[in-house]
Amino acid sequence: MTNILLVTSSPRGPQSHSTRFARDIADSLSARSGGAIVERDLGATSLPHITAAYIDGRIAPPETRTPEQTEAVDLAQSLVDEVQAADVIVIGSGMINFGPPTQLKAWFDHITWPGVTFRYGATGPMGLLPNKKVYLVTATGGVFSEGSYAPFDFQTTYLTHLLGFIGLRDIEVIRVEGTLVSPDAARAAIASTEAQIRAALERAA
């Protein structure tokens, strides 16, 4: 059985392409393996931005933490626990101003935790999460996989870097791109995404 963590982050609710396709991937993996899906819908329920209580609390010995620090650290720990418990992680991210949505950034700010999910060693930074498969669905109004906008895809580059930084290097990127270029481009984008997902799931079979 494969435990699946589905992390969606679009603020656009049912209109979201990244949520739709991330959910499709999670459902297919679940149907195939009988695995359970744990959902973390950051678009519906945003995490707080990290605060001094979290930053100071996570380095303070547990018995010395203030109630506020304990609450902040416990929240981050519960998010790390979800990641740890998963065999496969499916993430949906829809580009906002050339990067991921702030909802997803807040999730990474909680789980990117020195001594817990990464550490600095003699040879530099080291991810501490055990490697596991990640499907990263990135939705963008424009086209970023090629062409003049490719250098500005800070969403995919940032997310793949950060995942690798905490130890998650086995990443399949699925793009939904060009949906705002024209109606024809939107139709082609959806067809392309469906084909990318089929191919990714076949590789995983």
Ligand X SMILES: Cc1cc2nc3c(=O)[nH]c(=O)nc-3n(C[C@H](O)[C@H](O)[C@H](O)COP(=O)(O)O)c2cc1C
Q: Is 105 in the site for ligand X (CB under 6 A)?
A: no
Decide if residue 112 touches ligand X (CB under 6 A): no
Decide: is 28 part of the binding site for ligand X (CB under 6 A).
no
What is the closest distance, in whole angstroms, from the C-beta atom of residue 106 to ligand X in the complex? 16
| Alpha-carbon distances of 28 from 35, 52, 130, 151, rounded to whole Å | 10, 40, 23, 32
Least CB distance from residue 62 to ligand X, whole Å?
38
DSSP conformation class of 96? B
Cα-based angle 147, 141, 136 (whole degrees, multiple of 5): 85
Centroid of chain to Cα 60 = 28
Distance CA 52, CA 98 (A): 27
Q: Does 17 bind ligand X (CB under 6 A)?
A: yes
Q: For residues 62-101, which are near ligand X according to CB under 6 A?
A: 94-98
Only segment of 13-21, 44-52, 64-72, 127-135 that touches ligand X (CB under 6 A): 13-21
Candidates 4, 7, 16, 82: give the one binding ligand X (CB under 6 A).
16
CA distances from 119 to 60, 113, 114, 126, 173 (A): 17, 8, 5, 5, 25
| Site residues, ligand X (CB under 6 A) | 10, 12, 16-19, 94-98, 139-142, 179-180
